């Protein structure tokens, strides 16, 4: 067994961390005041090569591993979960499916520009009536002579306000249930595609989350990504990596909250000594350290398995479930260590607390992760 990162991965952590501290940290307060993501940030990450970490060099990627992807996302989330949220959609959600099952022409049209940051993508899987149950989509894609006619409404589409490409699931054969759903890439400007309201959120401010309406939207056959009717099956091939990535992101946010709590426990004096000298606070910080260590091990073990092409459905769900619940406990306790100051808007604790909440919801809720783990146990 080897629990060490390679020299290359350590170096990459320093590069990622420096980027997050220098280029992202200064904009965090401003992002809190808005509900739209600054597109230049994704373009900058494209220029620096971050958007292509796990993809082949021939498409402009870095040919890196999943462990490095997790390192980058962890460091980014430590500074801004909103920026990391916008980025993970671009890296995993948009480039991922094209790299996995796009044709060579689609890779040139969608993968290459998305890795460069020239084309931003949004994912439209969720619908008003289809959340965890992705197979219950109502959006339809009727076959026509040269393509498809798409009708439907998508919910919670991250980055849709700045997107050039919309990856949507739609029913191509109503009689086949989950085996009758396909994925289409709809370009901005296509007649019938409207980006609807930007929904205000509890946390992840700075990130736009939109409704997307497709009404009589005609697309060419080229827009079909992967085989017809195999959309959900194909997407399932990328969910492990998505869950591992979210686990690493949760670790990043937890570390930010924990570091602040340790610093505060050393500095804040009550009853004549730093509060970190009280066992009540020490135990809280010790429990936090244990949980972060566990989540880190789980996330990177699953990433390591993914890198080796090992099946890691259970490990990815365990990591995602544990890390996303862990970050909520850490954010809660870190705020508690700060007392009244933690509750004030001028400290970042309230942001950690609000941003942590979504980790148990997106990329498969905690209940869905438990269901997957249960199924993997043969139940």
Ligand X SMILES: Cc1cc2nc3c(=O)[nH]c(=O)nc-3n(C[C@H](O)[C@H](O)[C@H](O)COP(=O)(O)OP(=O)(O)OC[C@H]3O[C@@H](n4cnc5c(N)ncnc54)[C@H](O)[C@@H]3O)c2cc1C
- The single residue listed with the structure tokens 């195999």 is 230
CB of 365 to ligand X, least distance (A): 3
- Cβ proximity to ligand X: between 100 and 285 the closer is 100
Compute the least distance from the CB of residue 354 to ligand X, in Å: 11
Q: Are 75 and 16 in contact (CB under 8 A)?
A: yes
Asked if 365 is part of the footprint of ligand X (rule: CB under 6 A), the reply reads yes
* DSSP E strands, the chain: 121-124, 140-143, 147-158, 165-171, 181-187, 193-198, 209-220, 224-225, 269-270, 273-274
Strands (E), 199-262: 209-220, 224-225
Report the C-alpha gap between 375 and 379 in whole angstroms. Answer: 5
Q: Which of 40, 53, 27, 25 is nearest to 162 (CA)?
A: 40
Q: By CB under 6 A, is residue 238 in contact with ligand X? A: no
CB closest to ligand X, residue no: 131
Q: Output the smallest distance, CB 207 to ligand X, in A.
A: 7
- Using the minimum distance from each CB to ligand X, give the nearer residue, 117 or 121: 121
**According to CB under 6 A, which one of 358, 359, 372, 373 is a site residue for ligand X?**
358
- Among the listed residues 127, 228, 363, 376, the single catalytic one is 363
Q: Where are the beta strands (DSSP E) in 231-350?
A: 269-270, 273-274
- Dist. CA 64–CA 159, nearest whole Å: 25
Asked if 174 and 205 touch (Cβ cutoff 8 Å), the reply is no
Give least dist CB 57 to ligand X, A: 28
Which of residues 34 and 273 has its CB atom nearest to ligand X in the complex? 34
DSSP for 12-25, written as a single string:
HHHHHHHHIIIIIG
User: Which of residues 20, 24, 67, 89 is near ligand X by CB under 6 A?
Assistant: 89
Among 12, 37, 72, 156, interactor with ligand X by CB under 6 A = 156
Shortest reach from residue 7's CB to ligand X, in Å = 35
**Per-residue contact flags (x/-) with ligand X for residues 312 to 351, judged by CB under 6 A:** ----------------------------------------
Q: How far is the CB of 263 from ligand X (least distance, A)?
A: 29
104 is catalytic: no
**Region near ligand X per CB under 6 A, out of 156-164, 213-221, 246-254, 323-331:** 156-164
Provide the 10 A C-beta neighbour count for residue 348: 19
Which secondary-structure segment (H or E) carries 68?
helix 66-79
Q: Which is nearer to ligand X, 39 or 361 (CB)?
A: 361
Beta bridge partners of 170: 182
User: Rounded CA gap, 315 and 306, in Å?
Assistant: 10
Which one of the spans 53-61, 243-251, 309-317, 360-368 is the region binding ligand X (CB under 6 A)?
360-368
- Selected from 295, 368, 372, 373, the binder of ligand X by CB under 6 A is 368
193-232 footprint of ligand X as x/- string (CB under 6 A): --------x--x----x-----------------------
Contact status: 362 vs ligand X (CB under 6 A): yes
Helix, strand, coil shares of the chain, percent, nearest 5, are: 60, 15, 25
Residue 157 interacts with ligand X (CB under 6 A): yes or no:
yes
Q: Please check whether residue 354 is in contact with residue 203, taking contact to mean a CB–CB distance below 8 angstroms.
A: yes
Does 181 bind ligand X (CB under 6 A)? Our answer is no
Does residue 124 contact residue 169 with C-beta atoms inside 8 Å?
Answer: yes
Residue whose C-alpha is closest to residue 243's, from 308, 178, 181, 324: 324
Nearer residue to ligand X within complex by CB, 6 or 132: 132
Rounded CA-CA distance 324/332 in Å is: 13
Residues in 92-151 that interact with ligand X by CB under 6 A:
123-126, 131-132
Active-site positions read 363
Binding site for ligand X (CB under 6 A): 89, 123-126, 131-132, 156-158, 201, 204, 209, 358, 361-362, 365, 367-368, 371
């Amino acid at each position: 067994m080897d629990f060490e990162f390679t020299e290359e991965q350590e170096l990459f952590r320093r590069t990622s961390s420096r980027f997050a501290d220098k280029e992202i940290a200064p904009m965090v307060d401003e992002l809190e005041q808005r509900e739209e993501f600054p597109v230049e940030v994704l373009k900058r990450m494209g220029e620096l090569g971050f958007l292509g970490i796990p993809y082949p060099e021939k498409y402009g990627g870095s040919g890196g591993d999943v462990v490095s992807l997790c390192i980058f996302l962890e460091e980014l989330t430590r500074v801004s979960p909103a920026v990391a949220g916008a980025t993970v959609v671009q890296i995993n959600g948009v480039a991922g499916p094209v790299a996995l099952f796009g044709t060579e022409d689609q890779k040139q049209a969608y993968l290459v520009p998305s890795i460069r940051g020239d084309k931003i993508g949004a994912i439209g899987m969720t619908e008003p009536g289809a959340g965890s149950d992705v197979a219950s989509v109502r959006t339809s894609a009727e076959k026509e002579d040269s393509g498809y006619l798409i009708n439907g409404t998508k919910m919670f589409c991250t980055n849709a306000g700045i997107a050039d490409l919309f990856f949507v699931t739609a029913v191509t054969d109503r009689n086949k249930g989950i085996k009758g759903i396909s994925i289409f890439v709809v370009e901005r400007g296509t007649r019938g595609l409207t980006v609807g309201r930007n929904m205000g959120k509890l946390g992840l401010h700075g990130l736009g989350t939109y409704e997307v309406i497709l009404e009589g939207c005609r697309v060419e056959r080229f827009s079909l990504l992967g085989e017809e009717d195999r959309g959900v099956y194909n997407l399932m091939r990328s969910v492990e990596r998505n869950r591992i990535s979210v686990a690493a992101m949760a670790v990043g946010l937890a570390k930010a909250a924990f570091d602040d709590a340790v610093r505060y426990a050393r500095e804040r004096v009550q009853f004549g000594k730093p509060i970190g000298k009280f066992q009540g606070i020490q135990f809280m910080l010790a429990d936090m350290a244990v949980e972060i260590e566990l989540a880190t091990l789980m996330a990177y073990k699953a990433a390591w398995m993914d890198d080796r092409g090992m099946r890691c459905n259970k490990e990815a769900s365990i990591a995602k479930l544990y890390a996303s619940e862990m970050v909520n406990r850490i954010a809660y306790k870190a705020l508690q260590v700060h007392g009244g100051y933690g509750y004030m808007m001028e400290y970042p604790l309230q942001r950690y607390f609000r941003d942590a909440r979504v980790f148990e919801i997106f990329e498969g809720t905690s209940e869905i992760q438990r269901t997957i783990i249960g199924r993997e146990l043969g139940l």
